[in-house]
Amino acid sequence: MNIAIDGPAGAGKSTIAKRAAKELGFIYVDTGAMYRAIAVYLIDNGVSAGDEAKVAEAIDDISIEIRYEDGAQQVYLNGDNVTGRLRTEEVGNMASKSSALPCVREKLLSIQRELAAKNDVVMDGRDIGTNILPNAELKIYLTASVEVRAQRRYDELVAKGEAGVDRDKIEQDIAARDKQDMERKAAPLKRADDAILVDSSDMGIEEVAAQIIRLANERK
Ligand code: C5P
């Protein structure tokens, strides 16, 4: 069985997808991490996302491998585990830009489809229900208002003890990333016609996860 969860940055997709996968005994596939790993390569090699020909050239030198260690997804870039390097703003911004290029998306499509063909998965991303797994048994489009997503991210950073966190800047960054992901030509972020819309603005993580687990169990 395949479950697709798409939606904008900061809607809670990964936390919820992880929880649902654990409860259902499925594997959790974080596709954003794959785009981020490619971004790490581009940053390390000084390739600009604006130079499509250079990115296309670089893509041929990249191998991405997904492994599961203690149930957690690990991303290997040319043999090195880069999982610990993926979650910075710099990498997120580069991923958002480079993921708009068809050569980058093409590289990851078969990896994602193969994981879903071989396993029961909860896969999260931007184009899973619309493009990667159009026949997924359950599709969720998980969203929340920009204000709520920015506030959650702000709270997360403050809880981590980061200094000088600017809530307005976070909101601007989230809005810019939404725009980039929704307006690109290649596999833009949008709700699949058959996806269930879940707005988590006024819901807790537990409530959303429970709803998705219930829907999945109904379709098993
Ligand atoms: O979800 P995450 O923030 O890790 O994704 C990083 C970036 O990768 C997103 O901003 C988006 O541009 C891109 N992405 C994508 N398609 C996916 C998953 C992520 O384009 N399926």
Pocket flag, ligand 1, residue 149 (CB < 6 Å): no
| DSSP reduced 3-state for 62 | coil
Would you put residue 94 in left (φ > 0), alpha (ψ -120 to 50) or beta? alpha
The Cα 212–Cα 23 span in angstroms is: 11
Per cent of the chain over pLDDT 70 is 100
The residue written with tokens 């093409």 in the block is 106
| Whether residue 220 has pLDDT greater than 90 | no
Pocket flag, ligand 1, residue 95 (CB < 6 Å): yes
Write the ipTM.
Answer: 0.98
pLDDT 10s digits, 118-164: 999 999 999 999 999 999 999 999 999 999 999 999 999 999 998 89
Tokens of 114: 């193969």
pLDDT 10s digits, 9-27: 999 999 999 999 999 999 9
Q: How far is the CA of 35 from the centre of ligand 1 (A)?
A: 6
The Cα 113–Cα 107 span in angstroms is: 11
pLDDT 10s digits, 167-197: 999 999 999 999 999 999 999 999 999 999 9
Q: How far is the CA of 181 from the centre of ligand 1 (A)?
A: 8
| Whether residue 89 has pLDDT greater than 90 | no
